[in-house]
Chain A
Amino acid sequence: MIEHNARRRAVAFRSIWATVGVVGLAATLVGCGTEAPESAEGGTEAPESAEGTTISFWQYYGDTTMPQGVPLYDFIKRYEDSHEGVNVDVRYIPYDDFYRTVIQSAAAGDAPDITLVNSLDTTSLAQAGLIQDLSDRVDEWGEKDAYFPGIWETTQYDGATYGIPHLADAYGIYYNKTLLDDAGLTPPKTWDEMEKTAAELSVDGRHGLAASGIEGVEGSTPLIIRTLAEGAEPTELDSAAGATALDSFQGMVDSGALSEGFLTWIEDDVASQFGTGEAAMMLNSATYISILREQYPDLDWSVSLLPEGSESRTTWLAAENLTISASSEYGDEAWDLITFMQDPDELAVYLPARNKLPARNDVPDETGDPVRATFSEQLEDSWAPTGDMAPVANEVFTLVQSALQQKLSGGDTDKVLKDVQAKIDEAISG
Chain B
Amino acid sequence: MSTRAENRAAAAHHKVAAARRFPNEALLLVPAVIFVVATVVYPLLYNISQSFFDIGIAEIVSGAGKWVGFENYADQLQRPEFWAALGISVSYTAATVVLSVIVALLLAQLFQLNIPGRDYMRALILLAWIIPTVISANVWRWLLDGSYGLLNGMLRMFGIIDGDVFWLGEPVTAFIAVVAASVWTFAPLGMILLTAGLQSIPHSLYEAAMVDGASRWQRFLNITVPALKPVLYTTAFLLFIYTFKTFDTIFLMTGGGPGGATKILPVYAYEQAFIFFKFGKAAVATTILLVIPTVLSILYFHSIKKEERS
Give the B-binding residues of A (Cβ under 8 A).
2-3, 5-6, 9-11, 13-14, 17-18, 20-22, 24-26, 28-33, 96, 99-100, 103, 106-107, 124-125, 127-130, 205, 214-217, 219, 259-261, 263-264, 269, 272-273, 276, 278, 392, 394-395, 398, 402, 405-406, 409
Contact = CB atoms under 8 A, between A and B. Distances in A.
Contact of B164 (A17, A261, A395): A261
A30 B147 contact: no
Given A13-B200, A25-B297, A130-B57, A107 B146 contact: no
B32 interface: no
Binding site secondary structure of chain A: helix
A287 B271 CA distance: 25
A94 B47 CA distance: 24
A97 B109 CA distance: 41
Q: Which 4 pairs from chain A and chain B are nearest by CB?
A: A215-B257, A128-B57, A128-B58, A28-B245
B76 interface: no
Contact of A261 (B169, B196, B300): B169
Interface of B: 36, 39-40, 43-44, 47, 56-58, 60-63, 145-148, 163-164, 166, 168-169, 171, 193, 196-197, 200-202, 204, 227, 230-231, 234-235, 237-238, 241-242, 244-245, 247, 251, 254-260, 266, 269-271, 273-277, 286, 289-290, 293-294, 297, 300-301, 304, 308
Contact of A17 (B47, B145, B238, B256): B238
B262 to A, nearest CB: 9
A217 B275 contact: yes
Contacts of A130: 57-58, 61
A162 B164 CA distance: 47
Contacts, number: 173
Contacts of B277: 99, 124, 128
A26 B40 CA distance: 6
A4 B168 CA distance: 51
A25 B294 contact: yes
A103 B230 contact: no
A25 B36 CA distance: 13
Given A6-B201, A259-B146, A18 B169 contact: no
B43 A264 contact: no
A5 B204 CA distance: 13
B202 A215 contact: no
Contacts of A394: 275-276
B257 A263 contact: yes
A101 to B, nearest CB: 10
B271 A398 contact: yes
Nearest to B270: A32
Contacts of A127: 56-58
8 contacts: A21-B297, A29-B40, A103-B61, A127-B58, A263-B169, A264-B168, A402-B260, A405-B259
B258 A21 contact: no
A215 B258 contact: yes
B308 A11 contact: yes
Contacts of B258: 215, 263-264, 405, 409
A204 B98 CA distance: 42
Contacts of B43: 29-30, 33
